[in-house]
Structure 1
């Protein structure tokens, strides 16, 4: 993957950490699209992530906006240029082709790798950053998604995004 990303002409000016940050921001929810969310997800230092985010902003791939409630907090949003870039390079054609050749085994492999990841996360007390809809706090109220942790309604699309506050269903106490 790294070799492919380094050789891809659209990614010539993008460092791997910057691409990882863009990929995260494309999949995370409004509770997680912060510099701290990126830092926690990537497991890197604040300084490294901060410099990478500044570079992405200078390239016009992300924009920062102040939180409406907490003026100290900043949210990061992908620009249309960033979304076009990600759409053009993900998933890598060689990976999609290989998965297609595996037929049903590809789905089984994805399930097993997900299980392996959850076991590693549980065994090492690592945040899961899972899909909202798989969180023990996710529920429906009046036919709409709702977060029981923040006590806020969610949009239907929110349920398909990853969240830094995620708590797997099997962690319910």
Structure 2
């Protein structure tokens, strides 16, 4: 049963990314989505490399291709002169309105609420366990991170020693550590 489930997850992921459109590769879509969802500390090529489980060179080439297409832009990182921050351009945000994962999101949102919650918890646990096994970072949102202490409109991140806004709480972070929550 576990083998069948693993095969189904991989098959679902491939179905979700294959729309017959050729405007971007699966890796480019993943990068565009990542930079649109990453927090200000994680919008770097090296963080994308970790997220996408690829080499820094491959990640850099993917970013470079999206910059050339005008979907991403590079900015100097005032916090670390050795790295570059990546921002999604307006054209990139426009492209994301045609994200092939939209169909999968619609299918998943059609599932009963209890199945959606169960699937989300199961996939998060599996992702965390596999990342731990392979000794690679686990990505998640600030809202689910043990580093964050939430307030009413802001949160404090103990890892980056920074205040986070409510919108940032839904962002991906390279410093993510799953909060110990019973589900």
TM-score band, normalised by shorter chain: 0.7 to 0.9
Q: CA RMSD in A?
A: 2.3
Q: 1:121-132 alignment to 2 at 5 Å? A: 121-132=131-142
The match for 2:91 among 68, 76, 81 is 81
Stretches of structure 2 lacking an aligned partner (at least 5 in a row): 1-12
Query: What residue in structure 2 maps to residue 103 of structure 1?
Result: 112
Q: Check whether the contact 2:45–2:84 (CA below 8 A) recurs between aligned residues.
A: yes
**Aligned counterparts of 1:143 and 1:97: Cα–Cα separation in 2:** 29
What is the DSSP-based 3-state SS (H/G/I as helix, E as strand, rest coil) of the residue aligned with 2:149?
strand
CA spacing shift, 1:79–1:112, aligned 2, 3 Å? same
> Runs ≥4 in structure 1, deviation > 4 angstroms?
none
**Count of equivalent residues:** 168
Shift of 1:78: 0.5
**Aligned counterparts of 1:63 and 1:20: Cα–Cα separation in 2:** 16
The match for 2:38 among 25, 28, 35 is 28
Query: What residue in structure 1 maps to residue 68 of structure 2?
Result: 58
Shift of 1:35: 0.8
Shift of 1:7: 3.6
**Aligned counterparts of 2:20 and 2:47: Cα–Cα separation in 1:** 27
**Aligned counterparts of 1:135 and 1:145: Cα–Cα separation in 2:** 11
Shift of 1:143: 5.7
Q: TM-score, normalised by structure 1?
A: 0.84
**Aligned counterparts of 1:86 and 1:15: Cα–Cα separation in 2:** 13
Query: What residue in structure 1 maps to residue 9 of structure 2?
Result: none
Shift of 1:53: 1.0
**Aligned counterparts of 1:101 and 1:112: Cα–Cα separation in 2:** 18
**Aligned counterparts of 1:130 and 1:97: Cα–Cα separation in 2:** 21
Query: What residue in structure 1 maps to residue 4 of structure 2?
Result: none
Q: TM-score, normalised by structure 2?
A: 0.80
Query: What residue in structure 1 maps to residue 162 of structure 2?
Result: 152
CA spacing shift, 1:113–1:68, aligned 2, 3 Å? same
